[in-house]
A = this chain, B = another copy of it.
Amino acid sequence: MRELAQMASGEPATKRSKTDALPEHLSGIPEETKKVLIEIDAVQNEIDGLNEKASEEILKVEQKYNLLRRPQYEKRCEMIKKIPNFWCTAFLNHPQLSSIIDESEEQALTHLSNIEVDEFDDIKSGFRLRFFFTPNEFFENEKIEKEYNLGDTPSTTGTTIRWKEGKNLGKKGDSSSPLSFFEWLSENVDPAHDDIAEVIKDDMWPNPLQYYLLPEMEETGDDFEELIDDEEGLEEVDDEGGSEGEENDA
């Protein structure tokens, strides 16, 4: 839209003629139409400006409630620590997460004592997942972090897991099969497509009790991918459109 704005402002288009400033396939259209397109572009800029302001206000609401929820989440963490196997049970009862937990991983997962999810203060720029483990036979780490930076060049960083000898649950060496939980935990998945991180942040973390209280999942044969496919809509096509008010946990 740069060119259109330039034409509207009457600035000289140094490198191109005014006609060239429109996309090539539109270079033949009448002057009158061009003029209207420039007017539409100006209104569109006003709309975009309003969208941006709305985003900022919504961000402020989300930030406010992130702060307000923090003490409750901390209280909840302390309580959960008192329940044996809480997180392991909740993970195994979760429709998507259970399907990525190998049988060999279940025992290691019983040592998961605490989870923390921290969104960065400006929310949009990323978040951090922290997994705390009690001493176990599988690895030395007491805390394993995964950090998601979702800025212009998205990246993930994570704690290197110090596996005990012969206990490496991370490497399955089978790149065709979907990631298992500890593979995911020890590898850096493309942050834009890390479904597991999203499920933990946006579904498990807001209410793990509901999964803890479920009777153990029966084997249905549904795997993670299938279940996700069922849940999907068209959300990501939206450029600036279409949030629901109830999605407010960011």
Indicate if the CB atoms of B237 and A235 lie closer than 8 Å. no
| Chain B residues, CB < 8 A from A82 | 32-33, 36
Are the CB atoms of A206 and B250 closer together than 8 Å? no
Q: Which of A12-20, A159-167, A180-188, A238-246 contacts B (4 or more CB under 8 A)?
A: A238-246
Tell me whether A44 is interfacial, beta carbon within 8 Å: yes
Given A236-B235, A243-B243, do A37 and B215 touch, yes or no (CB 8 Å)? no
- A221 on interface, CB distance cutoff 8 Å: no
- Contact: B245 with A59, CB < 8 Å? yes
In the complex, the answer to whether B43 meets A76 with C-beta atoms within 8 Å is yes
In the assembled complex, the Cα of A72 lies from the Cα of B40 at a distance in Å of 10
A207 in contact (CB, < 8 A): yes
Q: Whose C-beta in chain B lies nearest to the C-beta of A195?
A: B234
Q: Is the CB of A44 within 8 A of B209?
A: yes
The answer, among B68, B198, B241, for a CB contact under 8 Å with A201, is B241
Main DSSP-derived SS at the A contact region = helix
Tell me if A105 is interfacial: C-beta within 8 Å of chain B.
Answer: no
Q: In whole Å, how far is A100's beta carbon from the nearest beta carbon of chain B?
A: 13
In the complex, whether A73 has a CB less than 8 A from a CB of chain B is: yes
Are A250 and B246 within 8 A (Cβ)? Answer: no
Given contacts A61-B58, A206-B240, A243-B62, contact A79 B39 (CB under 8 A): yes
A207: min CB distance to chain B, Å: 6
Enumerate chain B residues within 8 angstroms of A228, measured Cβ to Cβ. 234, 237
Chain B residues lying within 8 Å of A241, measured Cβ to Cβ, are 201-203, 205-206, 247, 249-250
Beyond A56-B245, A57-B65, A243-B250, 6 additional pairs, beta carbon < 8 A: A40-B83, A58-B62, A193-B233, A207-B239, A240-B246, A247-B247
Q: What would 16 A/B residue contacts be, using CB atoms closer than 8 Å?
A: A24-B215, A33-B82, A36-B83, A51-B246, A53-B65, A54-B61, A54-B249, A55-B246, A58-B248, A123-B244, A198-B233, A201-B241, A202-B238, A203-B237, A240-B248, A243-B250
State the 9 A-B residue pairs at the shortest beta-carbon distance, nearest first. A202-B241, A202-B242, A243-B247, A241-B249, A235-B235, A59-B245, A54-B65, A54-B248, A202-B238
